[in-house]
């Protein structure tokens, strides 16, 4: 079994950072991940990371956060998938 992290990042249209943040938090996936974290950054960027246990690794069919309405963002959403290479520390 592999641990896979799906990262979703978007930049809000001017002045709409809080709206994008709330939109991202409100998204319901087809199933629940092991863990989900939501981050904000300068320039009204929002990052969501979900963790999954997946025997197929990064090729697994996992639920993704969708694209928000075009007028809420300044560019297409960026997405990345990572497979855990281990955990350091306790």
DSSP H or E stretch at residue 2: strand 2-11
Strand-strand pairing, 35-41 and 45-54: antiparallel
- What residues make up the domain containing 44? 2-83
Q: What confidence category does residue 1 fall into, taking pLDDT thresholds of 50, 70 and 90?
A: confident
State the pLDDT at residue 90.
62
Structural domain includes residue 89: no
The answer to whether residue 90 is domain-embedded is no
The answer to the question of residue 88 being in a domain is no
Domain count, the chain: 1
66/20 Cα distance (integer angstroms): 12
Is pTM beyond 0.95? Reply is no
Residue 50 lies in a domain: yes
Mean local confidence (pLDDT), 76-87? 95
CATH, residue 70: 3.30.70
């Amino acid at each position: 079994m592999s641990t896979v992290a799906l990262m979703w990042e978007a930049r809000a249209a001017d002045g709409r950072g809080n709206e994008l943040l709330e939109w991202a938090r409100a998204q319901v996936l087809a199933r629940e991940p092991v863990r989900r974290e939501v981050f904000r950054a300068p320039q009204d960027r929002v990052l969501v990371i979900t963790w999954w246990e997946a025997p197929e690794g990064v090729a697994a069919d996992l639920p993704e956060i969708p694209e928000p309405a075009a007028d809420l963002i300044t560019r297409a959403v960026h997405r990345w998938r990572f497979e855990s290479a281990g955990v350091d520390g306790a």
